[in-house]
A and B are shown apart, each in its own frame.
Chain A
Amino acid sequence: MSPVIPVGPYHPALEEPYKIELVCDGEAVREAHITVGFNFRAIEWLAERKNYTQDLALVERVCGICSNVHTLTFSRALEQLAGVEVPARAQHIRVIVHEAERLHSHLLWAGIAAEVIGFQTLFMTCFALREKVMDLLEAVSGNRVNYAMNKPGGVTRDIVDPAMVSATAQAIRAAMERDIIPVFTTDRTVRARCAGVGVLTRDEALAWGALGPVARASGLPQDIRKAAPYEIYDQLDFEVPVRPEGDVLARIVVRALEIVESCRIIEQAVDGMPSGPIDAGDFIPVPAGEACARIEGPRGEVFYYVASDGSDVPLRVRIRTPTFQNMPTVALMVREQTLADVPLIQASIDPCYSCTDR
């Protein structure tokens, strides 16, 4: 009988609870069963009982890392319902904060990946860079976790020091290109630890609805910023890194290259930021109807559906986060891999259990 090794739901290496049961044959993993829901907060249920203003604060707490994308996606769904156009300056600010959030999320993940690989100095380098982004977000929004930057119709705060934002993005881009990307792409230790490990094929990624860097590292060139541009993304010059290998190394490289692209996007958004208002004025309650919004979050597409009956409380709010789609693919990635590689493989999807459970 094959031994079943349960990992979680609580584990010293995981900040958030989830459980994976590994059916092993010696050191080889034969199959895996994933259990989630330990962070279930019934946020969709709550959102249908609070007014839109309260919901804005609620959805920001879906995730502790990509909190901004939730208020942005929710706001965009309401703007769609109401037919409201967000002022150009607000769109630029939204993109700057959105990409800064991607930077800190990817740098956090890069640091954790480095630590899991056993590369402590790289971990420290990544976290030192991430701190610059956190300082930037704090300077712009006054907060380090829940920025409260988005509101239906625009943003809550202007950016008063755009030069600082641009300088930070340039500094991070230079450090990535000089210090971090060469390590992730050429270092023999990283390659030995990650190449060919935890493969998710292109067909599997498509069938399981994988999103974001996980999908792009499996050869799927999907990115909502390109496929269905929102805010000012259709005016910006940036690349979407795609790798065909589908392994842990590909997921590392895709995210590392995306950090550079996010810096480029921020620099362009700062350069092109026009003067003008930062919000379109209040339009709550929204008209009756239904609408969807999609945003390319750090971990992939964030999807919101909102139905309104014209009152100040939504009829239905549906939230589909990227890890909700990516997490089941871990069961495919770990099959026939060694037990010792499981922590690295599960970390390679940059999982967010809080997002998944909502």
Chain B
Amino acid sequence: MEPDAILEELGVTAAWELHGDGRWVEAPNLDVRAMARLLRSVEARWVTLTVSPAPGGGFRLLYHWDLAGRLLNIATVVPEARAESIADIWPGADWAEREARDYYALEFAGRDGSPALMLRPEDEPGLFSRTQELGRDADPADAARVDAGGEP
């Protein structure tokens, strides 16, 4: 399946922006589970998920896929710290979603029982978000335990 057909199948009206490093598209109302199922069916390869705070609030989820050597970067935005999980469709996304929760307290639907990945069980999720609130010089080791009442 060609990249243009993928956008058409997903109902994304925006076109790919072609850069030297791959194709990029912003898809605000993206059905990420439909995207995951489609890319699974065409034997694309999972690359990773990049989460970052969105400029207007919420979070930007940038999904990276490899389609026969072509890098596809598909971005969407969630207004709250809650997103759909694709780990049941793409098991390879499991750790990336758990890591996103560690860093940004981003909760993925149906994954309430998933353990932390990089943080320890006693650490509160949202390490990067919390240190952002505390200022750029905040120590992540202190911030990891700021809500847990433990020693930094």
Q: Residues of A at under 8 Å CB distance from B? A: 35-37, 40, 42, 44-45, 49, 77, 80, 83, 206-210, 222, 224, 226-228, 291-294, 301, 303, 305, 307, 315-316, 318, 320, 324-325, 327-328, 357
- Beyond A37-B117, A292-B73, A316-B50, is A207–B92 a contact (Cβ under 8 Å)? yes
- Are the CB atoms of A37 and B52 closer together than 8 Å? no
- Are the CB atoms of B48 and A303 closer together than 8 Å? yes
Question: Closest A-chain residue to B51, C-beta based?
Answer: A318
- Beyond A293-B21, A303-B48, A305-B50, is A209–B119 a contact (Cβ under 8 Å)? no
* Residues 20-52 of chain B, each 1 if its beta carbon lies under 8 Å from chain A, else 0: 111000000000000000001001011110101
- Beyond A209-B46, A209-B47, A316-B50, is A292–B91 a contact (Cβ under 8 Å)? no
In the assembled complex, the Cα of A115 lies from the Cα of B20 at a distance in Å of: 44
Stretch binding the partner chain, chosen from B6-14, B60-68, B77-85, B106-114: B60-68
* Residues 85-109 of chain B, each 1 if its beta carbon lies under 8 Å from chain A, else 0: 0000011111110000001000000
- Are the CB atoms of A42 and B47 closer together than 8 Å? no
- Which of A36, A45, A292, A294 is in CB contact (< 8 Å) with B131? A45
Q: How many residues of B contact A (CB 8 A)?
A: 40
Main secondary structure of the interface of B (DSSP, over half): mixed
Shortest distance between the CB of A71 and any CB in chain B (Å): 17
- Are the CB atoms of B117 and A80 closer together than 8 Å? no
In the assembled complex, the Cα of A227 lies from the Cα of B44 at a distance in Å of: 13
- Are the CB atoms of B120 and A37 closer together than 8 Å? yes
Q: Which of A44, A80, A222, A294 has the most CB of B within 10 A?
A: A294
In the assembled complex, the Cα of A206 lies from the Cα of B40 at a distance in Å of: 9
| In the A-B complex, the 7 residue pairs with the closest CB atoms | A209-B92, A227-B69, A209-B46, A320-B48, A37-B118, A318-B50, A42-B140
- Beyond A209-B46, A228-B69, A228-B70, is A291–B19 a contact (Cβ under 8 Å)? yes
Apart from A209-B47, A305-B62, A328-B91, list 14 A-B contacts with CB within 8 A: A35-B115, A40-B118, A42-B127, A45-B131, A77-B21, A80-B20, A209-B46, A292-B73, A294-B21, A294-B71, A301-B47, A303-B64, A325-B46, A357-B118
- Beyond A209-B47, A292-B73, is A45–B128 a contact (Cβ under 8 Å)? yes
In the assembled complex, the Cα of A43 lies from the Cα of B116 at a distance in Å of: 17
Contacts of B20 in A (CB 8 A): 80, 83
In the assembled complex, the Cα of A320 lies from the Cα of B45 at a distance in Å of: 14
- Are the CB atoms of A45 and B22 closer together than 8 Å? no
Q: Residues of B at under 8 Å CB distance from A? A: 19-22, 40, 43, 45-48, 50, 52, 62, 64, 66, 68-71, 73, 90-96, 103, 115-120, 127-128, 131, 136-137, 140
Contacts of B92 in A (CB 8 A): 207-210, 325, 328
In the assembled complex, the Cα of A35 lies from the Cα of B22 at a distance in Å of: 33
Question: Closest B-chain residue to A220, C-beta based?
Answer: B45
- Enumerate 16 A-B pairs (CB-CB under 8 Å) in ascending A order: A37-B117, A37-B118, A42-B140, A44-B128, A45-B127, A45-B140, A80-B19, A209-B90, A209-B92, A222-B66, A294-B71, A303-B64, A316-B52, A324-B95, A325-B46, A357-B118
Contacts of A210 in B (CB 8 A): 92
